[in-house]
Structure formats: C-alpha cells, structure tokens
Amino acid sequence: MDTLYLRATIAYDGTDFLGFQWQTTGRTVQGVLETALAQVTQATPRVAAAGRTDTGVHAQGQVIGFHVPWQHPLADLQRALNAVLPADVAVLTLGPAEPGWHPRFSAVRRTYRYTVLNRPIRSPLDRRYAHLVAAPLDPARLQAAAALLVGEHDFASFGQPTQGENTMPETTGRTVRVIFSAAWRRADDRFTFDVIGNAFLRGMVRRMVGCTLQVGLGCWSVERLAALLAARERSLSAPPAPACGLCLMQVDYE
C-alpha cells in the first residue's frame, strides 16, 4: 500500500490537554491524533505541527503533517478520523502535502488571538476561552503598547526558543522574531489582541499580553514596556497571561 504525505488543518479546545506535543504521561493533542490515525489506518504515523501550543492553549487553524498508508479517498479518511477523535478535536481540512513541505519550518506567518473579558463579574460560559480582567482597561494605552512590538526585535524578554527553533530559516537569531502586526480591539466588554508574526518564542504571546495589559491598566508606562523590550531580560517581564484566552488562529505558507 502506498504511503501518502498529508496536510491537515485542525481545531481543538486546549483546556483538557497538556499542550500539543506528545508526552510520556498526560493527554496531548498529538497523542490523541496519533491514536486516531493508528485506529483508522492500522499504522503508527507521527504527527508534526506548525506550532507546539502549551497546556490550555486552543487552536482554530493549527496545521499538521504526517505520512500514512491509505488507498481510499481522502474524504473517507477525514470522516473516519473525526468519527474516532474526541469531541475537543476536529480535522477541518485534509489534503496532499507537497514534497519538502513541513508544517513548522515551511510556515511564513502565524496568527494568534488572545481574548480578555473586561467586566467586574466573571462569566462562567466564557471561562474556558477568555481571561477575566475586572479593572477597567484603556483601549488607547493598550494599542500604544501593542504598536511597540511591531517589527523585527529580539524578544528575549518575552520567551524562550523551543528545542530546534534556532535552525528555523525564518529567524536571524535564537530570540529574534518579526511581528508583522499587533493590535488590541474592543467590542463592548470584550478585548481581543491579534498578533501576526513569522514565528514565536515559547510563551511569547502570553507574556506580550501580560505586559500590554499592565500598560492598559495604568500600572506600567509605555516607556517601561519599551525598556523591557530593549533589556532582553525575561525576569523583568510581567507574568504571562493565562492560557485560556489564547488561540492559534491561522498558519500561512508561501
């Protein structure tokens, strides 16, 4: 039976996962995907992903790649996988991958969204997908803080490179990344932070959110955030925002 190289877009609720990457103990997205593939194909494929999302982080547009023996229509494979996958994971699209393509190293842009609920009383229905901030946020200060992050910078103050990331062709240094856009937007009592970059350090988006929220709350000045960026010292950063509000929205390729 021929082995196919396939590419899929998946979505998952990260609340009950210990992140994407397989671990020896604990439930992971990679683990349940590989279990489902084994059940459907009777093979033991390994799954690679565009981003190794952390514990509790969600995805709407995660991209994966894998080799698998399959001689039926790919639509049948997609249906079979969704039939055996748990309810918090879904295969949205499935198709052939080009030779040499890699879900992580071939990516040129990644888009993340962080959601904040800004109200004094918690919303039980939003608790899995939004971070509650009870004190009022200043939209203008939030956006001024976000604007500082755009461009090519050394983001050592905001995160760490994951294993093997220093070999990524789109980076010029282990902690240098390019942010194409970063913006806070408000709709009633909900704030969203959309950030697009060529790649992100481990924990980088959540620390960016944590620090810009400090500015939006009036606890930090914009100048303090600028100094933090220049300092390249993670110990000076605000704590990372909780994982529940973060979602990998989209991954783009050439």
Residues marked active site are found at 54
With a CB cutoff of 8 Å and minimum separation 6, the contacts of 195 are 111, 112, 113, 114, 146, 149, 179, 181, 182, 183, 205, 208
- Residue 107 CA to residue 122 CA, distance in Å, equals 37
CA angle 8, 128, 38 (to 5 degrees): 35
- Residue 112 CA to residue 69 CA, distance in Å, equals 33
Question: Which has the closest alpha carbon to 208: 193, 222, 198, 227?
Answer: 193
Question: Which has the closest alpha carbon to 80: 41, 110, 107?
Answer: 41
235: tokens are: 């110990």
Please report, in angstroms and rounded to a whole number, the separation of the first and last CA atoms in the chain.
31
20: tokens are: 């994407």
